[in-house]
Homo-oligomer: A and B are copies of this chain.
Amino acid sequence: MKYVYFFGAGKADGKGDMKDVLGGKGAGLAEMTRIGLPVPAGFTITTEACDHYFKHDRKYPRKLREEVAKHLEHLEKLTKKKLGDAKDPLLVSVRSGSARSMPGMMETILNLGLNDASVKGLAKATSNERFAYDAYRRFVQMYSSVVIGLPKEDLEERLRNLKNSLGVKDDTQVAADGWRRLVGEYKDYFRSKTGKDFPEDPVEQLWGAIGAVFESWMGEKAVTYRRVEKITGLLGTAVNVVQMVFGNTGEESGTGVCFTRDPSTGAKDFFGDFLLNAQGEDVVAGIRTPMHLRELSKVMPKVYKQLESVREKLEKHYRDMQDMEFTVENGKLYMLQTRTGKRSPAAAFRIAVDMVKEKLIKVEEALERITPQDIERLFYPVLDSKISRPELASRKIAEGINAVPGAAVGKAVFTAEDAEEWAARGERVILVRRETSPEDVGGMHVAQGILTATGGKTSHAAVVARGWGKCCIVGAEKLNIEAAAKRMSVDGRVVREGEWITLDGGDGSVYTGEIGLVRPEPPKDYETLLKWADDKRKLGVRTNADTPRDARAAREMGAEGIGLCRTEHMFFKDFEHPEKSAERQEAIQEMILAETSEARRRALDKLLPFQRRDFIGIFEAMDGLPVTVRLIDPPLHEFVPHDPEKQRELARKMGISPEAVARRVEQLHEANPMLGHRGCRLSITYPEILEMQVRAIIEAAIDCQKRGIKVLPEIMHPLTLDKKELKILETATRRVADAIITQANVKLEYLVGTMIELPRAALLAGEIAEVAEFFSFGTNDLTQTTMGLSRDDAGRFLPEYVDEHKAGIFNEDPFQSLDTAGVGMLIEWAIQRGRKTRPKLKVGICGEHGGDAESVKFCHRVGMNYVSASPFRVPISRLAAAQAVIEAKKNKRA
């Protein structure tokens, strides 16, 4: 095995596609060298060496020293300089570089090779003593802190003392002697702390630096970064040992960072910063304000021209926008790094579309380059960047899980009723709850954002908010919420009802006060690219929408129908006429409290006109597109009040005793409601609910059809587990529907199908398809039951299961990205069996996974007809569906 790759003088052992082994930086240096760009020579120690190091108790591979020595010798020959040479010494930088960019997470040592002898050689060779000793003190400082781990503050204190004693303020004012004195002080300090002399041997220095870079891979901040960014599967970091070039040797020198296109707009402008007479660290540190690249064209026109040609060459070569680092040493340009540049979502679209137009890439490649996050972040409002960081930090009171990105500002309220009341008088509110339940839906809907103290990304609050694209932070565990007292407190800070708070759903931060928001407009390239995706994809993309407003919004986002219209929110909330919500609630509660099927029927009769109107609105919005309506699903327990006050109120309204209400509520309580009396089980035990709902759907459809609206209703029974069960439901559905259709003397086509959300239904899909005209996989519940995981409770241990540095059992939260191994196996089986029985069986998915790109790709692979996603995730699904086609094509080729 080869552990070291050389590059220099136009030749390189490695290549640009060897990121896994050479890291991004090493691969870039090799590739740039190959294509003839000016790159200082050097060599890369592979990530495999790092992997070996940690797998073998921090021992290097056996031949590594030998290989390094060989390549160092080669480097010395090429540069005609020697490490530690007293005349004109070779200096090197030692930098980390893994396959994925982890900015600032790992270590770098510059100017390595300096010692008391070689510093003199450097001074002589550059005719610049001050420069040489400045470089030396930088090296000693960096080595002491990075390699040895001495406290930075102690070192900096000595620098401060030096400047004080010299009576100067800036480093630039310190002369050679001052730096020499500082080196001496650093070395004394080093000795006092370590009991050893500072290493003068450059080879010892080099191995110290290599070890430090390896160690930084497992440093706490790097580990945390990888966990947070979900970076997994890497071998480790590579180590790049590169000849030093200096941007700080005078006014003919400098250092810079540039992008081949504008990373925030995507415009084809050459974009970057340059600092005259400075080293790379100075740019990063932001001590001096750099000049724009434009100015460089005036200061160093030759260099600028050369850089422009590098820009062109690199972009053509990599066929993507590049982010480059360079240094100019005495008028000579050196490229130190190139990598694919990070860009804003808007820029991502613009660059992808422009490059297709420029014929640099194909449509497929453009589609592949857009990520779900690009789309997501394109639409969510964000905190106005005008507010200063310190200001922001001082206002931050808590952090939760960023369930739905975007930002929201409003006055804190602590109950759903208050939210509605405040909103009714025109206030913007943030609903703050311990956790939310369907009862809160009205309040959630009017709120700008939602904040809860418990729950994870798939808690009720998160799921509902995501459906609306509404900013939501959950599981902010530090919040001590006192709903009764209408306030919350965090570490002694109290926020009362009516006080402004701001949520940043991007990172889960909660701030006090009103912070300005900006909502980005999607660029025109977004439409272009999504149209390309539509042309490419085979999967239909529908939406999960429960109200006409959501339906319209989703249609604008490109939804081709509704895959899941949940009817239960309608029981609580009149979204079009909020003042009528109470009437609905009373009717549903009356229905639940009814003791006989006649009384239930009477209560349901009151709900019928409401439901019918809801469906009319939805059918109108979806004119010409299919609408899948799921009949009642949640347990009745969710519809009744749980606190005694509200129970008394309900009792008064119903004219029964509060005890009777309490008793019924108690009766409805379940140990595991998720596995309880819900879904189509309600329609089996209370067929009158099914009858009312089917009537509302069919009457609404007939009403719309008469007015020239094209209606394609699909009636869906949830939680089915057996063919016989579905047959009973289907028979009841058709009996009601066909009677209405016959009576109305019209023709109306409708489908009857089922959700597949229990393992048994998936297993017996072949039988169930004898009755069902379509399947819609409810992957939320299918995941819960297949894995035995309650999504409301999994927050207690699932993070540990997903964290690769803890148990690391799953790569992804299975509620966010489909568990293709387990749940996916059931889905595939069910589709095969279902289609065997009914070849034209329509198959879709309507769980949260329908808006997750990886899951959408799985849906394509297993041959579904469509996916259904929340309105705001429809574009993601459209894109993912296209990417799935491209991936499948590639896999077929491979």
For window 763-783 of A, CB contacts with B under 8 Å fall at 763-764, 781
Residue of B with least CB distance to A669? B793
A792 on interface, CB distance cutoff 8 Å: yes
A677-B797 contact given A790-B671, A826-B759, CB 8 Å threshold:
yes
What residues on B are CB-neighbors of A719 within 8 Å? 788
In chain A between 796 and 829, which residues have their CB closer than 8 angstroms to a CB of chain B?
796-797, 800-801, 807-810, 819, 821-823, 825-826
**B671, B728, B758, B808: the one within 8 Å of A792 (CB):** B671
For A763, list chain B residues within 8 Å (CB): 786, 822, 825-826
Q: Does A724 contact B (CB under 8 A)?
A: yes
Known: A793-B672, A810-B722. A786 touches B785 (CB 8 A): yes
Q: Which of B764, B789, B800 contacts A685 (CB 8 A)?
A: B800
Across the interface, which residues of B come within 8 angstroms of A725, CB to CB?
801, 807, 809
Given contacts A763-B825, A809-B722, is CB(A674)–CB(B671) below 8 Å?
Answer: yes
CB distance from A436 to the nearest CB of B (A): 12
CA distance A797 to B758 in the complex (A): 17
Give per-residue flags for A659-701: 1 if the beta carbon is below 8 A from chain B beta carbons, else 0.
0000000000011111111010100110000000000000000
Q: Most B CB atoms within 10 A — which of A685, A719, A809?
A: A809
Do A684 and B807 touch across chains, with their CB atoms under 8 A apart? yes
A672 with B792, Cβ < 8 A, contacts A725-B807, A758-B787, A759-B785 known: yes
A877 at interface (Cβ–Cβ under 8 A)?
no
| Whole-angstrom CA separation of A218 from B758 in the bound complex | 36
B-side contacts of A788, CB under 8 Å: 674-675, 679, 719, 721, 757-760, 781, 785
For residue A789, which residues in chain B have a CB less than 8 angstroms away from its CB?
A: 675, 721
A611 at the interface (CB under 8 A from B): no
- Interfacial residues of chain A within 698-728, with CB under 8 A of chain B in the complex: 719, 721-722, 724-725, 728
CB distance from A787 to the nearest CB of B (A): 5
Q: Does A46 contact B (CB under 8 A)?
A: no
Give per-residue flags for A866-890: 1 if the beta carbon is below 8 A from chain B beta carbons, else 0: 0000000000000000000000000
With A764-B821, A785-B786 known as contacts, the answer to whether A674 contacts B672 (CB < 8 A) is yes
Q: Given contacts A671-B674, A677-B793, A728-B807, is CB(A786)–CB(B801) below 8 Å? A: no
Given the known inter-chain contacts A724-B809, A796-B677, please indicate yes or no for A801 contacting B671, CB distance below 8 A: no
Q: Which of B679, B684, B810, B821 contacts A801 (CB 8 A)?
A: B684
CB of A784 closer than 8 Å to a CB of B: yes
A residues 495-516 near B (Cβ < 8 Å) are: none
Q: How far is the CB of A544 from chain B (nearest CB, A)?
A: 21
Cβ A671 vs Cβ B793 within 8 A: yes
B825 touches A784 (CB 8 A): no
Instruction: Give the contacting residue for A759; candidates B679, B786, B800; CB below 8 A.
Output: B786
Instruction: Write out the residue numbers on chain B whose beta carbons fall within 8 Å of the beta carbon of A764.
Output: 821-822, 825
Q: Are A676 and B787 in contact (CB under 8 A)?
A: no
- A117 to B724 Cα, complex, angstroms: 56
> With A685-B800, A807-B684, A807-B728 in contact, do A823 and B670 touch (Cβ < 8 Å)?
no
The CA of A719 and the CA of B793, in the complex, are separated in Å by 15
- A sample of 24 cross-chain residue pairs with beta-carbon separation below 8 angstroms, ordered by A number, consists of A670-B793, A671-B674, A671-B790, A672-B675, A672-B784, A674-B675, A674-B790, A675-B785, A675-B789, A675-B793, A677-B793, A679-B788, A684-B807, A721-B787, A721-B788, A724-B808, A757-B788, A759-B759, A759-B787, A759-B788, A759-B822, A760-B787, A760-B819, A764-B821
Additional pairs, 6, CB under 8 Å, beyond known A675-B789, A724-B809: A670-B792, A675-B784, A676-B790, A681-B797, A725-B809, A785-B785
